Chain A
Amino acid sequence: MRDETSLNLPVSSKDGRGGIEKKLTGIPRKSQLALLVAPSVLWLIILLVLPLITMIGLSFQKSAFGPDSEVFTFASYLNFWQNSAYQSLLGKSLWISLVVAVLSIVLAYPVAYFLAFHAGDKQGMLLNIMIIPAWTSFLLRVLAWRLILGSNGLINTFLMWLGVIQEPISGLFYSVNAVIITLVYIWIPFAALPIYVALLRIEPGLLEAASDLGAKPWQGFFKVTLPLSIPGILAAFLYVFIPTVGEYVTPALVGGPNGLMIGNIIWDQFMRGLDWPMGATLSLVVMLIVLLPLVFMAKAAQQTGVLGGKGE
């Protein structure tokens, strides 16, 4: 890689090759390790840290372009504080994300449980069956839900053919419900994975001990299995909740005017050339709301290794 040699992090200077490290020539010096990490760090700084800093700066500008861009102002934050439309949209987005996360976890838990405890040697294959839909085109799957929920869609056509209904059900498509159904569908495999991992880590002996001591199977589940799978549930929650808060593609495709989320407003601010500083402010608010609980929950998630934590 290009100029990584010039990027020796400070650690290299104070790293003499003394002490124990002298015995084996191959033990990496800290400078060598820094060299390995440097390209990634560079990438993260240029494409993540600097853009985010730019966003912070932009959120305090009066306008994105022209002479007004030199003016420092809290106007966008004030606007957010005073404009209840932004706040209610944010509240709605958080509410939708919460519902989606809880539903995904509730629906995914039995699958994870089945895979971990009852699938036997078919585990790997069945796991793949769960995961494959998650890797096929996101847009096309959302499009498919238009075909299922729409007024000429599968559900309405089928119910009308049965004679259960005469008119297409109106609350099905272009609604918050459609957004929730589609997102739950998208997230179930992602919610199942961390729960499955957590369940696998439960010592079978614990359940045996519980049943030896007279616990019924359901007691064993609620007293042993469920509590021990909480790190997995938390990780699943984060995995679903966080990206959903900023979601804008699904609401745009199936949500209709009532199903819009905060991400759609951010999109409008930037792509319809409205108010970049306001868009930046809303982005940062969303980011803070998403990252703050993450900091608190990171420890729990780390235990399942999902966020690349310390390991054992």
Chain B
Amino acid sequence: MSVFADALVAAGQLLLTADASLGDITLLSLRVSATATLIAALLGLPLGAWVALTGSRLRLPTLVVLNASMGLPPVVVGLVVYLLLSRSGVMGPLGWLFTPAGMVMAQTILITPIIAALARQTIDDAHLSLRDWFNSLGLSATQRVATLLFEARFSLAVVLLAGFGRAIAEVGAVMIVGGNISGSTRVMTTTIALETSKGDLPLALALGALLVALVLIINGAAQWLKSWLEQQRG
């Protein structure tokens, strides 16, 4: 199992030498997945709230589709976005294929259902305990959504972290849509795939360890922020 020892050494070297291209790759990973999470949150949270609160006949079908879409295969999303963004596709004129914008689009499609479905559940639960209070105040739908989103904000933060985790960890979609172009669309997961195919398994594993560490740090920071905010509130 010397490959694990080699990987540890490689990870240490990567960090110590503060490899410039590794820095770019890591930043791009963060930028693409954070942007996708932000857009997915702006789309998914209202959508989740709507499904939670609506009396529409579309509620049940939407709910089933959302829940099922949490399992969208990244490679299929990648392929569909590739065909859309291709110069021969309907969104070709945008020129987004093989750019970070295209990668953001793919990851947004991938995680919006996750954020919407989990937010729906969270808001449903919160609404159950607040419904009578809302009725007594006679709040409008928009006011209800805003209040629920605020009251459930800590649980929703976990929902966003789940979406972000899925985005930054996937390789299938960004590989196809981004093209893994060195210095342009290469992110951590595609680098890991590339180093694996070059047979440099210790380096690939070291990059994997760094990716996991990065996600850990982000989750740790979110947890710390939550505790801090709760303390502030008293």
Partners in one complex: no
Chain B residues near A (Cβ < 8 Å): none
Binding site for B on A (CB under 8 A): none
